[in-house]
Amino acid sequence: MSGTPDLGPPPRRVSVDTDQVRRLVGDQFPRWAGLPVRPVSASGWDNCTFHLGDGMVARLPSAAEYALAVEKEQRWLPALAPRLPLPVPVPLAQGRPGAGYPFPWSVYAWLDGSPARADRIAEPVRFARDLAGFLAALRSIDPAGGPRPGKHNWFRGATLRTYDGQARRALTALDGTLDTDLAREIWETSLNASWDGVDVWFHGDIAPGNLLLDDGELAAVIDFGTCGVGDPSCDLAIAWTLLTAEGRQAFRERLSVDEASWVRGRGWALWKTLVTCARADEEASAARRVLDGIFAEYLSGE
């Protein structure tokens, strides 16, 4: 991919209510028409998610940009799932626009588990190794024909320079509130870390909300809307945003991450953290702690 892609303006999101979902299901999938529909708590930003009975979930993109991932997930998740060591969402059906809702949508089997959080993880090093094992399996799948970075996944798997403007705007906004000179040094080092150009599969959004725990252990990985084939360093950001220092080292060793990839992964974590800090919302204080960890790890030369 040549040049730096244009991310464009923020998506225009649509709202979806329970009655709409009930009508969509009744009109398009009569066999499920009698099942109760209720919103999933903390269903996320990219999709509006609803329980459909006790064993399924209806997932409706909240904007046209997010709807670009529907066909991709329908095509690739059934092919990826058998090759992965943990459960992932597998689509049961694809819906079409209707009932005042403008985009394609999907029905999946429900996967049990609670979103990962540091205080919920039973054994941090084991969790890190299990996650690395999952990513290693994903990377080992033949990438032929897989979706290249693009608007369907916000250019995950492409160059970090896609997000250079966002990162520098965040640094400007944060000037005087943290060591922005150090942050710029880390960012520029990440931008200059080369990739060998060998395409592999990546998830694209390995974040706490997409990692499900059962009794403190990694039980499933969800939300493949940003998946694709390309540079997998975007999946390394979790090493700084969730893992402990010991877990981070175990994660890197299990995944056999080379130095340049590690540096790019740190850049992905830094971009995400800087943007969160600059928003100054309820997540900003937690992001500051992550940023402190990024700084400390970089300065230690790990």
The per-residue b/e assignment along 185-223, b for 16 or more CB within 10 angstroms, e otherwise, is ebbeebbebebeeebbbbbbbbbbebbbbeebebbbbbb
Query: Domain check: are 270 and 190 in the same one?
Result: yes
Is there a single domain that holds both residue 82 and residue 105? yes
Q: Are 202 and 225 in contact (CB under 8 A)?
A: no
φ/ψ of 50, rounded to 5, equals: -135, 135
Give the mean model confidence (pLDDT) for residues 195-204.
97
Mean pLDDT along residues 256-263: 98
Domain count, the chain: 2
Closest CA to 106 of 53, 56, 150: 56
Q: Are 87 and 218 a contacting pair, CB within 8 Å?
A: no
Model confidence band, residue 105 (pLDDT cutoffs 50, 70, 90): very high
Per-residue confidence band for 11, with pLDDT thresholds at 50, 70 and 90: confident
> Where does a domain end: 111, 141, 172?
111
CB atoms within 10 A of CB 94: 14
CATH of the domain at 27: 3.30.200.20
C-alpha–C-alpha distance, residues 74 and 107, integer Å: 10
Shared-domain flag, residues 126 and 86: no
Task: Specify whether the CB–CB gap between 228 and 204 falls below 8 A.
Answer: yes
Verify that 135 and 25 share a domain, yes or no. no
In this structure, is residue 223 part of a structural domain? yes
Are 81 and 153 members of one domain? no
Do residue 102 and residue 128 come from a single domain? no
Examine the domain organization and report whether 90 and 232 are in the same domain.
no
pLDDT > 90? residue 123:
yes
What is the C-alpha separation between 129 and 239, in angstroms, rounded? 11
Q: How far is CA 183 from CA 168, 189, 296, 299, in A?
A: 10, 10, 11, 11
- Contact between 215 and 289 (Cβ < 8 Å): no
Residue 8 placed within a domain: no
Domain range for 66 is 18-111
Domain shared by 129 and 63, yes or no: no
Judge whether residue 126 has pLDDT over 50: yes
Verify that 66 and 107 share a domain, yes or no.
yes
DSSP string, 206-246: --GGGEEEETTEEEEE---TT-EEE-GGGGGTHHHHT--HH
pLDDT (0 to 100) of residue 3: 56
Same domain, 119 and 97: no
Region of residue 113 (phi > 0: left; psi between -120 and 50: alpha; otherwise: beta): left
The dihedrals phi and psi of 194, each to the nearest 5 degrees, come to -80, 155
pTM of the model: 0.95
Residues 171 and 82 in one domain: no
pLDDT at site 237: 98
